[in-house]
Amino acid sequence: DSGVTQTPKHLITATGQRVTLRCSPRSGDLSVYWYQQSLDQGLQFLIQYYNGEERAKGNILERFSAQQFPDLHSELNLSSLELGDSALYFCASSGYGPGQDHYNEQFFGPGTRLTVL
Amino acid sequence: AQSVTQLGSHVSVSEGALVLLRCNYSSSVPPYLFWYVQYPNQGLQLLLKYTSAATLVKGINGFEAEFKKSETSFHLTKPSAHMSDAAEYFCAVILSGAGSYQLTFGKGTKLSVIP
């Protein structure tokens, strides 16, 4: 158990819909990363938050957005869903922060499997 | 830009045989390199990491990897495969810049272990 929790575990929805994926980082970790794993694209970085602020963006579509709340949990919002959005979405957390070891291990959650029908 | 290439999307070995999973990186600066393992229906678990200290890195479950700058490689090895090693393995590099340290992953290599 990595200490990172993600809900829900599975999500089945229809095209055009909007869903929210939730991630709770390990206790004390300020940094949260979101990754998408699909058969076509492999594992791709989407976005990172550090202590409530967006820190970096990767291959994240404009239809997707995220935020990190004061209690450090994060949500990834996916809207106007398309068939191609079906994937496994991972959240990872690390203790990265100013003054800390910048290659702190990222601990991954079990993922949310999204199926768009 | 930094990236990693994993040679072989699927590798099969016999139980007890040597495991060798290949990873080459491209980087203009010394990289931080990682190997992660993903068991079916599970998240990613860190096997080992290279962070510019010792070039031979030992990880969990008997795995190790050697950083070879001249070959831009970071191959993962295990002397004797076990059935429980069957999983997908990902090589990754830190793509650093502007205070972010997100991982850039290879395409993955699925390891099958034949009894």
Chain segment A56-111, per-residue pLDDT in tens: 899 899 999 999 999 999 999 999 999 999 999 999 998 865 545 556 788 999 99
Q: Is A58 on the interface with B (CB under 8 A)?
A: yes
3 state SS of A21:
strand
Cα first-last separation, chain A: 31
CA distance linking residue A37 with residue A79, whole number of Å: 18
Q: What is d(CA A67, CA A48) in angstroms, rounded to the nearest whole number?
A: 9
Choose the mutation target among A46, A106, A107 for the interface with B, i.e. most B CBs under 10 Å.
A106
Band of residue B96 on the pLDDT scale cut at 50, 70, 90:
low
Note whether A103 contacts B: Cβ–Cβ < 8 A. Answer: yes
B108 and chain A: CB distance < 8 Å anywhere? Answer: yes
At residue A4, φ and ψ (nearest 5 deg) are: -100, 130
Contact B7, B107 (CB under 8 A): no
> How many residues are present in chain A?
117
Q: What is the pLDDT of residue A17?
A: 98
Nearest CA in chain A to B51: A103
Q: What is the largest CA-CA distance in chain A?
A: 45
What's the CA gap between A96 and A31, in Å, rounded?
6
Length of chain B equals 115
The beta-carbon neighbor of B100 closest among A35, A42, A55 is: A55
Q: Give the whole-angstrom CA distance, residue B109 versus residue A60.
A: 25
Nearest to A44 by CA among A89, A93, A78: A89
Residue by residue, DSSP assigns A60-101 as --TTEEEEE-TTS-EEEEE-S--GGG-EEEEEEEE---TTS-
Which one is predicted more confidently, B32 or A4?
A: A4
Nearest residue, CB atoms, A56 vs list B100, B105, B108: B100
Q: Which of B44, B45, B60 to mutate to test the interface with A (most CBs of A within 10 A)?
A: B44
Say yes or no to pLDDT of B97 above 90: no
Q: What is the pLDDT of residue A96?
A: 61
pLDDT tier for residue B48 given thresholds of 50, 70 and 90:
very high
Q: Closest Cα of chain B to A49: distance in Å? A: 9
Residue of B101, B105, B107, B110 to mutate when probing chain A, most A C-beta within 10 A = B101
Among the partner residues B43, B101, B108, nearest to A90 by beta-carbon distance = B43
pLDDT of residue B81: 97
- Residue A3, CA distances (Å) to A81, B99, B104 in order: 29, 24, 22
Smallest CA-to-CA distance from B64 within B72, B53, B74 is with B74
Q: Does B18 touch chain A (CB under 8 A)?
A: no
B35: Cβ contacts below 8 Å, ≥ 6 apart: B21, B23, B46, B47, B48, B49, B59, B63, B65, B74, B76, B89, B90, B91, B92
